[in-house]
Structure 1
Amino acid sequence: MIKEDAMGYELHITRSSAPDGDGPLIGADEWRALVETDAELSLRDGITAALPGGQVLTIPSPDLAAWTGHPQHAEVPFRFHGGRVTVRNPDEAVLAKMIDLAGALDARVQGDDGEFYPPTPPG
């Protein structure tokens, strides 16, 4: 079960074992190469949202990947920054995708409070 928080909760694909992210980093080139091999992911330059009144807001985010394989959402943003990949307020489908991607990156999925998903390393 994923922890929920009224302010939002993030899970991170990371090689670190510490909640502060201190440790080995995932390289941007590694992330981009993995995204290019996954038909359900595509690189974007940022997040765009339609606002009330017809305005459009774009927030730059280099190396952001949009996941289009979610069973209920058109796209889920996977944001690469600081040597890790972050998703805000993930559900079980997103968690499963994150665990799959973490395996390909020799990394793990970790929550904001330091907990790991799954709780023990695979294998």
Structure 2
Amino acid sequence: MGYDVEITRNPLFSRKKGPQITLDEWFAIIRADKELKFFVGEHADKYGVDTAIWSAHPDPESESRYLWGAGGVITAKYPDNHLMAKMVRIARRLDADVVGDNGEIYELDNDGALIVLDDHGVSSSEFHAGFMGKNALIFGVGHNKGKDFLDRIYRDTSKMTGQHAYLEIETYKVNTMWWKVVYYAWYQGFITAINENRKADGFPIITYKGEGNFFDEDMIFFRNYFDKKPDASFFRAVNALIEFRKSKLGFYDEF
């Protein structure tokens, strides 16, 4: 799927919490910026135009010149530092943030150089310099609420209508699988941490009984759980799944 960087106001990641970036806003940026040009692809007659090419990239042959608007964000795939710096300048005009796949926020320092901020609004080097010795909790997606899980993975695409609906739906489908993997990896990491501690203490590790497509089954469990408890955290849902598997399907060892 590659590494995507977005200009976004998504309240989960952005410091500039607000509504989604509309195509009208994106088109206004393109029209007002002499360095941006509408990119008309071969399917533009059917799906419209939502992509811009940055004509002022230092390397005119670089593939890292394209930005497209869909799903309430403006996205670049595998952007280099030149394009990300341009994205920061665009984001400032939209009162938005430039955010990477892992939630990192990109900014420009006083000299115009690209830097990475953490969720405290300071550069990573500043944050990590003062991190050792301090008590801190790193939650990851385990801290996300169920309504975020449902929105990222089970959004009703029938509500996506209009000229650019096809592109929005296709983008959402790609992001959906990515987020399934992210959430499930957190769940597996949680089980792994428990097993590492049990092994160190001399206890048998937790394993499932039987065979089956646990990924799909577990994702259905999470969906049903959050349909009933949308404000619960993913951490709570994982604990509920562990209890369910212990009581209904069984572990080789008691948890």
The TM-score, its normalising length taken from structure 2, stands at 0.37
Report how far residue 71 of structure 1 moved: 0.1
Larger radius of gyration: 2
Aligned to 2:106: 117
2-side partners of 1:108 and 1:84: how far apart?
Answer: 10
**CA displacement at 1:67 relative to structure 2:** 0.7
Alignment pair present for 1:28 and 2:23: yes
Name whichever of 112-121 and 37-46 sits farther off. Answer: 112-121
Say if 1:10 and 1:87, in contact at 8 Å, map to a contact too: yes
Q: Please tell me whether residue 38 in structure 1 is matched to residue 33 in structure 2.
A: yes
Unaligned runs of 5+ in 2: 108-116, 123-255
The AA in structure 2 aligned to 1:14 is: T
What is the Cα deviation at residue 114 of structure 1? 1.1
Q: Distance in 1 between matches of 2:19 and 2:101?
A: 17
The one-letter code matched in structure 2 to 1:107 is A
Q: Does the aligned pair in 2 maintain the 1:109–1:117 contact within 8 Å?
A: yes
Gaps of 5+ in 1: 1-6, 49-57
AA aligned opposite 1:16? N
Q: Distance in 1 between matches of 2:80 and 2:48?
A: 22
Asked if structure 2 preserves the Cα contact closer than 8 Å seen for 1:62 and 1:80, the reply is no
- What residue is the counterpart of 1:86 in the other structure? 75
Moved over 6 A (4+): none
Aligned pair in 2 of structure 1 residues 61, 85: CA closer, same or farther (>3 Å)? farther
Question: 1:70, 1:37 → 2: CA distance?
Answer: 17
Share of identical aligned residues, percent? Answer: 39
Deviation at 1:44, TM superposition (A): 2.5
Local SS of the residue matching 1:90: coil
- Within 5 Å, which residues of 2 pair with 1:1-16? 8-16=2-10
Count, aligned residues:
103
Higher strand fraction (1 or 2): 1
Distance 1:110 1:18 in 2: 11
Greater relative contact order (CA < 8 Å, ≥ 6 in sequence): 1
Aligned match of 1:106 = 95
Measured after TM superposition, the shift of residue 41 of structure 1 is 0.5
Question: Which residue does 1:55 correspond to in 2?
Answer: none
SS of corresponding position for 2:50: strand
Q: Secondary structure at the match of 1:101?
A: helix
**What do you get for the CA RMSD once the two structures are aligned?**
2.4
Secondary structure at the aligned position of 1:87 is classed as: strand
Which has more helix, going by share of residues? 2
TM-score, structure 1 as length reference = 0.73
